[in-house]
Amino acid sequence: MMRRVLTYLAALGIVMLFAGCAVPRKQVDYAAFKAARPRSIVVLPPLNESPDIKATYAMLSQATYPLAESGYYVLPVALVDETFRQNGLTVPGDIHSVPVPKLREIFGADAAMYVTVRDYGSRYQVLSSVTRVAANAKLVDLKTGDVLWSGTAVAANDGGGSSGSLVAMLITAAVNQAMNHLTDAAYPVAGVASARLLSAGTPNGILYGPRSPKYQSD
């Protein structure tokens, strides 16, 4: 009997320990966002913390769509990129260091989206090849320099796995890994990550913009 009681108490203690470690989802403070209500956004070339040099433009080329769908006017990527080049800025780190008033002067946008790619690419994991993209972003008011919103998102694709013998699975995973590098399998995954990160109507996501029928409904 005593053994059962001790076992029960131990199990209860473990449950309470994990319950105590649970971290609730952090709620975003939208006060500054609602006060500013930006109408236009310039997306800066993302910082790339991954080893894949394709990450910056893969994310940049797919960042404008979810923002536009959310109701914002987004400055064309090609125009923004060329403007920076004409001003001698080609490195994302240098671009992110441009003073906020200068960005406002050059582009006339209400806000700037700063994106950082933390992970991008495919990895061989014994029996599978996993493609993963992770990024975070912050929206900065170009009139005041205040951070209006920040968020993070992750997307991954394991290639659907494989069945059969161990040798067959190893060969399939190796082939998938090679094909992922040749075809940049992370590009469509980056599109999913961009949509999760920059779409309105998602938990802790950006607010709907003035061109959306859901404007000021959130």
Angle in degrees, 0-180, between the axes of helices 77-86 and 100-107, rounded to the nearest 10:
110
- Rounded distance, CA 62 to CA 65, Å? 6
Biggest CA–CA distance in the chain, Å, is 81
pLDDT of residue 157: 87
Per-residue confidence in pLDDT tens, the chain, 218 aa: 444 433 433 443 433 333 344 444 567 889 999 999 999 999 999 999 999 999 999 999 999 999 999 999 999 999 999 999 999 999 999 999 999 999 999 999 999 999 999 999 887 654 567 889 999 999 999 999 999 999 999 999 875 444 444 444 444 445 444 544 544 688 999 999 999 999 999 999 999 999 999 999 88
pTM: 0.77
Look at strands 111-125 and 47-48 and give their pairing: parallel
Alpha helices in the chain, H assignment, sequence order: 2-21, 31-36, 55-60, 64-69, 77-86, 92-96, 100-107, 166-183, 186-198
17 burial via Cβ count (<10 Å: 0-12, 13-18, 19+):
exposed
Q: How many CB atoms lie within 10 A of CB 45?
A: 24
CA-CA-CA-CA dihedral for 16, 22, 24, 26, to nearest 10: 150
Residue 169 has a pLDDT of 47
Structure tokens at 80: 């923004």
Cα torsion 160, 165, 171, 174: sign: positive
CA 14 – CA 3 distance, rounded (Å): 17
- CATH number of the structural domain 29-198: 3.40.50.10610
Structure tokens at 87: 């001003």
Q: Which residues contact 31 (CB under 8 A, 6 or more apart)?
A: none
